[in-house]
Amino acid sequence: METTTSSPAKANVQALFDSLALDYVRDRERQFSFRSQKRIAIDMLAGVHGRLLEIGCGPAVMTPDLLAMGLEVRGIDVSGEMVRRARQRMAGHPLEKRCRFEVGDVERLRYPSATFNAVLCMGVLEYLPRYSRALAEISRVLVPGGVVVITLPNRASSYHVARSGYEVLRSLDRQLRRRSAPTYVAHNPCVPWKFDRELATAGLSKVASRACNFIFFPLQELLPRASETLNRALMPLAGSAVAPLLGAQYIVKAEKTAWRSASSA
């Protein structure tokens, strides 16, 4: 199997998504939270033409829509199993020749500078301890004036604030009881206004942002159906000023500034 993993942390992420590939095939497109992100991302890419790099392509759940927009798609994923499922899904598709998939690492993109007119990166950056190297690589492979759409969890949302506090208390309880912590893949949610500054540092100027996934802790865990009903009701707030404090998912569109050279990315 192809692999680009170079650290235990990335190997853990690869193993996690290898194990989740079939679940993504079966359930991802039925999830309201994903459909909300997808709709916003597609809207943000409206009017873009040319070549698009989809980072974290998974089993090609976004690809048919991207191809239907007239884009030529290159999809990469850290998970070899996700890539295999993506190739399997698109085999025989009428626009199959306009897409290609391979294992890849967002921090080490295998493409020349200024290759793509657009980049789509959904659900990837939160698995990195820092965003800077990935953002520099995204900026490097974009043409001047090219756009990137990124989605990642919002640390500042009420859901993540409340859940983080709960996890701190659980960790303290385990320490007092001398119990070992469960093994899990670390997440690194963003703070929207800080992430916007990181985009600027990478030569990416914010154009627009939205928020979605209006969930609350512990309602989401205890009453998921009621949580989804509330989520649907609050979706009109996606573009409002309070969205970054309520939406658990941050979605941002940025443009590569023409003055930034590839060598400085």
User: Hey, what domains does the chain have and what are their CATH numbers?
Assistant: 31-56+106-264 (3.40.50.150)
Task: Kindly list the distances between the CA atom of residue 58 and the CA atoms of 22, 54, 88, in Å, as whole numbers in the listed order.
Answer: 10, 9, 12
Please give the distance of CA 207 from its chain centroid, rounded to a whole number.
17
| Residue 124 pLDDT exceeds 50 | yes
Closest CA to 130 of 78, 202, 58: 202
Least confident of 76-90, 112-126, 138-152, 247-261: 247-261
Task: Kindly list the distances between the CA atom of residue 94 and the CA atoms of 67, 98, 99, in Å, as whole numbers in the listed order.
Answer: 10, 9, 11
Please give the distance of CA 248 from its chain centroid, rounded to a whole number.
13
Q: Which residues contact 128 (CB under 8 A, 6 or more apart)?
A: 106, 107, 134, 188
The model's pTM is 0.89
Q: Which residues contact 81 (CB under 8 A, 6 or more apart)?
A: 17, 18, 19, 21
pLDDT digits (tens, 9 = 90+) for 159-198: 999 988 867 565 554 556 665 544 456 689 999 999 999 9
Predicted confidence at residue 178, as pLDDT, reads 61
Predicted confidence at residue 9, as pLDDT, reads 86
**125: phi then psi, degrees, rounded to nearest 5:** -65, -25
222/9 Cα distance (integer angstroms): 30
Q: Read out DSSP for 242-259? A: THHHH-SEEEEEEEE-TT
Residue 228 gets which letter from DSSP? H
Q: Is the pLDDT higher at 3 or at 120?
A: 120
Task: Report the SS3 class of residue 148.
Answer: strand
pLDDT digits (tens, 9 = 90+) for 28-46: 999 999 999 999 999 999 9
Q: Is the pLDDT higher at 60 or at 167?
A: 60
228/27 Cα distance (integer angstroms): 15
Sheet with 204-212: strands ordered across: 99-103, 72-77, 51-55, 116-122, 142-153, 249-256, 204-212
β-partners of residue 206 are: 254
